[in-house]
Amino acid sequence: MPFSDAETRAIQAQALWAQVSSKALETLFEDPEMLKLLGMLRKEAVNIMPTAKVLGSRLLNDAVGQVHTFY
């Protein structure tokens, strides 16, 4: 079963927080072993995991926007 748009946005936002808090490389979710693990949990997950480019641009910009809205 595919992820809804809302689920995809929530998962990608959490992926950004996970990458930042773990101080992992931005390519964390491009790593073949990480994708294999995620695919074992839910096969469709591999298709929505953010690339380093998405983590460092759109998702980071979205998070900054949320911080600016909060403060």
Domain hosting 20: range is 5-70
Rounded Cα–Cα distance for residues 44 and 58 (Å): 21
| Number of domains composing the chain | 1
**Residue whose pair of structure tokens reads 């998962």 in the numeric block:** 11
**pTM for the predicted model, two decimal places:** 0.67
39-58 pLDDT, tens digit each: 988 888 888 888 999 999 99
28 pLDDT band, cuts 50/70/90, is: very high
Rounded Cα–Cα distance for residues 34 and 51 (Å): 12
pLDDT at 27 over 90: yes
